[in-house]
Amino acid sequence: MSLAAVVQMLLSGLLMGLIYALVAAGLSLIFGLMDVVNFAHGELLMLAMYATFFLWRGTGIEPLLLVPVVAILLFGVGMVIYRTLIARALGVRANRGMVQIFITFGLAIFLQGAAQFAFGGDFRSIGHSLLANRTVAFAGVYLPLPQAAAGVVCLLAFAALLLIARTEFGRALEATREDREAVALLGIDRDRIFALGWGLGAASVGVAGAMLAGFYYTSPDVGANFALIAYVTVALGGFGSLAGALLAGVLIGEVEAVTAQLFDPSLKQVGVLGVYLLVLLVRPRGLFGTL
């Protein structure tokens, strides 16, 4: 393998890994805050991708400019999911954990079905934009611009999440996650914090989806694969850790790229799950986990 091919492989692993990382960050944020695994996380990604596609097709606006719009849209979706479904699930008296699993699992199936019904099963892609199908080449290494932009935007989104964590609201988020009852004693409405946490988690996946739509086919079941990787990423990085999600996402992107290159593209998930099993055996709380 030439040096250029190695760099190419690592580069594509890095760029995909940054998307994985941001999707996982949203999942991890929600899980860390309230111990709820969002099984509909992949479907939020799918919604973000469709939103980007249809906004682009309807208005012709450059998809990059749509990223904040989609992020805000998904923020709203996350808040609504919390207020209508999750808050109720938290209020049940028996089998609370099961109810949460079934509710988000049911939501995933519902959203997939609804997308199939509303948009059909066709693969959608953004055909022309500032970056679509463009690459820059340097010393035999090709850098596809939509993926590169996605990587940069994902890093910016991580920076934004880290900044938010340092605000007063971020501290309230952390406090709620550490002790949701103590927070209420201080007059903090934890229901509101939870709703905003869901909004923030969904907005993260919204940014990832908006960028992903620029180079990946959008279909009703696109979320499943990304969700699986997100669960592995969160487990690998450590539940609730932002830095863990970032490093684990990139690591998984690289493992995937290397497996695809050295063995066969159809085996890339085997490599990812192999690493996951290894981590479970060696360090069950993940690389950065505190739980």
Partner 1 sequence: MLQLEGVSAAYGGMAALHAMSLQVAKGEIIAVLGANGAGKSTLLKAIAGQVERRGAIRFDGADITRLPAHRIARLGINLVPEGRRLFPRLSVEANLRLGAYARRGEAGRFAPLDQVFALFPRLRERLAQRAETLSGGEQQMLAIGRGLMTQPRLLMLDEPSQGLMPKLVDDIFDAIRRIRDLGMTVLLVEQRLVEALAIADRAYVVQTGRIVLAGAASDIAADGAVRRAYLGM
Give the interface with partner 1 as residue ranges (CB under 8 A).
93, 168, 171-172, 174-175, 178-179, 181-190
How many other C-beta atoms can be found within 10 angstroms of the C-beta atom of residue 263?
12
What Å distances lie between residue 121 and 114, 165, 218, 246, 276, CA to CA?
Answer: 11, 39, 9, 32, 31
CB of 24 to partner 1, least distance (A): 21
CB of 93 to partner 1, least distance (A): 8
How many other C-beta atoms can be found within 10 angstroms of the C-beta atom of residue 57?
11
CB of 32 to partner 1, least distance (A): 12
Output 8 or 176, the one with its CB closest to partner 1: 176
**Spatial separation of the C-alpha atoms in residues 192 and 239, rounded to whole Å:** 22
Output 127 or 187, the one with its CB closest to partner 1: 187
CB of 76 to partner 1, least distance (A): 22
Strand partners, 135: 144
Output 7 or 192, the one with its CB closest to partner 1: 192
Q: Identify which of 124, 121, 122, 146 has the alpha carbon closest to the alpha carbon of residue 134.
A: 146
Output 57 or 171, the one with its CB closest to partner 1: 171
Output 188 or 224, the one with its CB closest to partner 1: 188
Q: Where are the beta strands (DSSP E) in the chain?
A: 135-138, 141-144
CB of 192 to partner 1, least distance (A): 9
3-state secondary structure of 135: strand
